[in-house]
Amino acid sequence: MPDFQQIAWGYELTYPEDWAHLTLGDVEGFAAKPEALSPDYIGDRSGQLLIRAELMTTGQPIEPIWNKHIGMVASMMGARDVGSAAWQLGQAKGFEAEIVLARKDERRFWVGILSYRWLLLQFSVLHLKSEFDYFQPAMTRVISSLKIIREAAGILLDDNGIPRPPGYDRIAVKDVLDDVQDPANWLAYNGTQSIGAMQAFCLREMPIHGWEITEYEPFPNQKGPGFARLQLEKDRKQITLGLLPYQGETGGVDTPARLVYKMR
């Protein structure tokens, strides 16, 4: 069994049982000790692995995304030399680079990026050069254990067969929309997954549970309605599903999403 499973975004991995894990929005951090996940920590065993998930919906090739990412990271870190190479892990493909920092910098820095369908993962590994023998094999094992979720445990289904991740609880529709004329045909759920993660979740889980996605408008989209919208069909039942961004107790998520749908 994986030690960590990100059900909404759809990936899982294993990490050493004595390591620490921290979730901050769509970023997952792993380190040999909890203090190492604090930006102010400078002691021993300060190495960390960060994984950031993003949504890809435009069909854009990954090369320009990588070029922009590696350029930004290199500039931010003041890197002296950057050379990237193609990288593949299972069905996910991307690029990786060992970034050479200034000579006086005692840290080793590695970054990578992988894409699979609508999922984009950015990786960064940072540790002291003096601790290379400990962190390099450990980080390699953690990253190599990463798998795309095929069937996630803990998925919840409501009476209409609509899946949702754990942590999404039903709320009154009037708490979300104040102009609904037929509330009996509506359902709403509140949670703290980001709107990107919830789109990834729906794109993956709806077909698994028998729903055909006949139309999809992603968010953000300059021409869209201001939220993500999916048209679903199953056994002659039609549902309009909206993922609505909101502000609230977000747990570090920049733009969490409510799940709201209408049965037709």
Distance CA 6, CA 230 (A): 22
* 124 and 187 belong to one structural domain: no
193 closest CA partner among 155, 167, 163: 167
Region 113-133: what's the mean pLDDT?
95
Residues 166 and 190 occupy one common structural domain = yes
Produce one character per residue of 188-206: b if its CB has 16 or more CB atoms within 10 Å, e if not. bbbbbbbbbbbbbbbbbbb
Task: Report pLDDT for 229.
Answer: 96
Least confident residue range of 19-23, 43-47, 147-151, 234-238: 147-151
Total number of domains constituting the chain: 2
Shared domain for 161 and 246, answered yes or no, is yes
How would residue 252 be classed by pLDDT, with cut points 50, 70 and 90? low
What Å distances lie between residue 231 and 50, 87, 117, 194, CA to CA? 35, 35, 20, 20
Residues 131 and 186 in one domain: no
Of 130, 148, 166, the one marking the end of a domain is: 148
Model confidence band, residue 47 (pLDDT cutoffs 50, 70, 90):
very high
Q: Which of 32-46, 104-118, 160-174, 241-255 has the lowest mean pLDDT?
A: 241-255
My answer on whether 134 and 172 are in the same domain is: no
Domain of residue 101: give its range.
4-148
User: Is residue 46 located within the same domain as residue 63?
Assistant: yes
Where does a domain end: 91, 117, 148? 148
> Is 28 found in the same domain as 114?
yes
What rounded mean pLDDT belongs to the chain?
90
Residues 142, 173 within the same domain = no
Q: Which of 148, 172, 206 is the last residue of a domain?
A: 148
Closest to 229 (Cα-Cα) out of 180, 204, 195, 194:
195
**141 and 160 co-located in one domain:** no
Asked if 174 and 90 sit in the same domain, the reply is no
User: Is it the case that residue 70 has pLDDT exceeding 90?
Assistant: no
Does 216 lie in the same domain as 247? yes
CATH number at residue 137: 3.40.1000.10
Phi, psi of 132 (to 5 degrees): -55, -45
Between 238 and 103, whose confidence is greater?
A: 238
pLDDT at 28: 96
Q: Is the pLDDT of residue 216 over 90?
A: yes
Note whether 144 and 173 are same-domain residues. no
CA distance 155 to 173: 22
